Amino acid sequence: MKTRFKHFAYAIVLLTIVNSNSIFAQTSRTDPNDNQGWYGAKLKVDLPSGWGTSLDYQARFINDFKTYNGSYTTIGTSKKIVKHIELQADFRLAVVEKGTYYRGSFGFEASKGMGDFDFALRMLVQNQLQDFDDEYKDNQREGYWRVRLEANYAPTDGIQLYVSTEPIMKFGGVHPIDNWRNSAGVKIKVAKRTRLNLFYMYRPDFAKTTYNRLFQVVGVNLDYTLKIRKSNTGGHYLISK
């Protein structure tokens, strides 16, 4: 049953990627829709005393998957302060077609498990600085705050399904909501400590003054997790099996 479900998930995602160019229309101002591919890898390290750190790399393709837009590298840290709540912070470097962006984030995530289900609420405040001049902007610095609600379901030890919704608000933006991420995906265990994360995102964007945009994203991410624990004898740090 596990093998059959895994093969079915692979087939669905591959068919989506292959057929996307024929299903979706070309981007233009009169038809402001774009279909993108986000592909990356993530290393996550769980440390003793509730600490954690991560390194994430992502390459993004835009213009109906035809154009490489650039890379996004994120370094993050987290600290669990009580059983169900952890603080989070990260720094992201984006080197894209327009130029270079620096972004810092800080917030918290609250989570709760109920049987095979896990629910999480994350709130972040972000500050973004672009390292180039834009004549259409008075300020090269922008601030955002975002709220994500996520639900996870694990039918087996090797399969995890999830859905999430996340409105992103810009301080002083054109509209109360700048853009809205709605995602669904599956994480499949492909090796020890390694999961393949396949997802789809429906992302309406309201940042423009005169028209709205729509981005649809197909993503593939490889997630690798290490758990470091402190030995009871000798105080050495060990990698958990």
Give the chain as a DSSP string.
-HHHHHHHHHHHHHHHHHHHHHHSPPP-SSS-EEEEEEEEEEEEEE-GGGEEEEEEEEEEEETTTTEEEEEEEEEEEEEEEETTEEEEEEEEEEEESS-EEEEEEEEEEEEEEETTEEEEEEEEEEEEEESS--TT-S-SEEEEEEEEEEEEEEEETTEEEEEEEEEEEETT-SSS-SEEEEEEEEEEEEETTEEEEEEEEEEEE--SSS--EEEEEEEEEEEEEEEEEE-TTTT-EEE--
Residue 212 sits in a domain of what CATH number? 2.40.160.40
- In a domain, residue 91? The reply is yes
Mean pLDDT by 10 residues, the chain (241 residues): 50 46 48 94 96 98 96 98 97 95 98 94 96 65 96 95 98 92 98 97 93 96 93 70 66
- In a domain, residue 140? The reply is yes
Domain that holds residue 122: 2-24+34-239
What pTM does this model have? 0.84
- In a domain, residue 209? The reply is yes
- Residue 3: what pLDDT? 52
- Residue 234: what pLDDT? 64
Number of structural domains (the chain) is: 1
- In a domain, residue 29? The reply is no
